[in-house]
Amino acid sequence: MGTLRDLQYALQEKIEELRQRDTLIDELELELDQKDELIQRLQNELDKYRSVLRPATAQQQGIALQPDQHRSKRHAISAEPTACDISDLSHVTLAFHPKSPQSREMIKAAILDNDFMKNLELSQIQEVVDCMYPVHYGMDACIIAEGDVGSLVYVMEEGKVEVTKEGMKLCTMGPGKVFGELAILYNCTRTATVRTLVNVKLWAIDRQCFQTIMMRTGLIKHAEYMDFLKSVPSFQDLPEETLSKLADVMEETHYEDGQFIIRQGARGDTFFIISKGKVNVTQEDPANQETAHLRELSRGDWFGEKALQGLVEFVCSLFLALIH
């Protein structure tokens, strides 16, 4: 009897141990699913910024994020490659459609008010405005159907539309609004239905035209940055690949005469290279409250390089945090 009890007790212990292991496995799977979702959200956000801000660079370098082949539980939205060859982009002629000054300003304001498109450069917005063409719909017409594959983005100039998802009303939109913008950034199906409430006038642009504008202006800007970096004496000995990577991450910023770029004592996180103009470097003596002029910098000079050390340390710590 004692042996039987011992076996029963040992069996209960094993059952409890297996139950705890099952619970641990469930917790680990849940944690892994959460990390998968986080990675997917970060990937989608990165794709958005690459599509809007640096589509040319991404296309040129063949940048792509590959989903996990062993745990593919979700369908990712992917950027669709353009049909235009990059080497021929400079020769592509885009169709410009005439507009009144009021329509041009309305479209520009709508783009600048849109979360996905407001970070475009002004030259890119200008070309998008030029290439948009007019579209008219009558009352109770379906402009976008949920689940359909879309390739057009719209800016509404006149009228009102209703937005629904799975039969539920989300909102109504009037003039000066952008909708359908995911269609020009991603190869995906429409996530909602848009139906007219009255007669509407829209301006539209398709994905291929938009991406051609983005890549062409991106390539032109990248070439300009490369030429500038090569003209800086301190960078002339750097390999072409290194210069290209520097050009990829450069952002152009303009300052008015007399405007402060860096203030003494402020936290710094930006490295500057002067492309045009001159800057004065001064330092204030806390003891006597006097400001001393140190030197004058001009084209090709740089400043703020000490900020890069902290930035590199932050990126490395973020990477380590993600991989752990």
Could you report the per-residue pLDDT of 291-301, keeping only the tens digit for each?
888 888 888 88
**What is the tens place of the pLDDT at every residue in 254-265?**
888 888 888 887
- Choose among 80, 109, 44, 65: nearest CA to 214: 80
Tell me the CB-side half-sphere exposure of residue 39, using CA atoms within 13 A. 21
Alpha carbons 34 and 12: distance in angstroms, whole number: 33
Q: What's phi and psi for 82, nearest 5 deg? A: -75, 155
- Contact between 247 and 273 (Cβ < 8 Å): no
Q: Is 70's pLDDT higher than 50?
A: no
pLDDT of the residue at 263: 84
Question: Averaging pLDDT over each range in 23-32, 85-94, 137-146, 233-242, which range is the top one?
Answer: 137-146
pTM score over 0.75:
no
CB count, 10 Å around CB of 179?
20
Q: Is 178's pLDDT higher than 70?
A: yes
Give the pLDDT band (50/70/90) at residue 90.
low
pLDDT of the residue at 66: 38
- The angle subtended at Cα 319 by Cα 316 and Cα 324, nearest 5°, is 125
Q: What is the mean pLDDT of residues 55-65?
A: 36
Give the pLDDT band (50/70/90) at residue 317.
low
pLDDT of the residue at 6: 58
- Choose among 95, 103, 109, 102: nearest CA to 213: 95
What rounded mean pLDDT belongs to the chain?
Answer: 77
**What is the tens place of the pLDDT at every residue in 144-175?**
999 988 889 999 999 999 999 998 999 999 99
